[in-house]
Amino acid sequence: MLLVIGGTITGIILIYFFGFLVSILVNNIIWLFISGFLYRYYWKLNGLEDVLILGSFIFYKLMKKIKK
């Protein structure tokens, strides 16, 4: 929940100064690094494994839909 609130606040600030498209890109990059830092040093996890598992699950579901 903390990352959602922080992402919203930084997104609003970036939209005001740089515009919508730039704010989406920069905000995603900033919070990707922040969440990676939190996973790595606070929870002692890499976080990449979760992304890969989720990505493979979504890929499997999409391929199953396409083959029907």
For the question of whether the overall pTM of this predicted structure is more than 0.85, the answer is no
Q: What is the pLDDT of residues 9-60, one digit of tens each?
A: 777 887 888 888 888 888 788 888 887 777 777 666 656 677 778 888 889 9
Q: Give the pLDDT score at 48.
A: 67
The SS3 of residue 43 is: coil
Whole-angstrom distance, CA of residue 39 vs CA of residue 2:
13
Residue 48 is encoded by which pair of tokens? 């990449």
Residue 22 C-beta-side C-alpha neighbours within 13 Å: 7
| Containing structural domain, residue 16 | 2-67
Nearest to 24 by CA among 36, 38, 40, 7: 7
- Structural domain count of the chain: 1
- Residue written as token pair 């498209």: 21
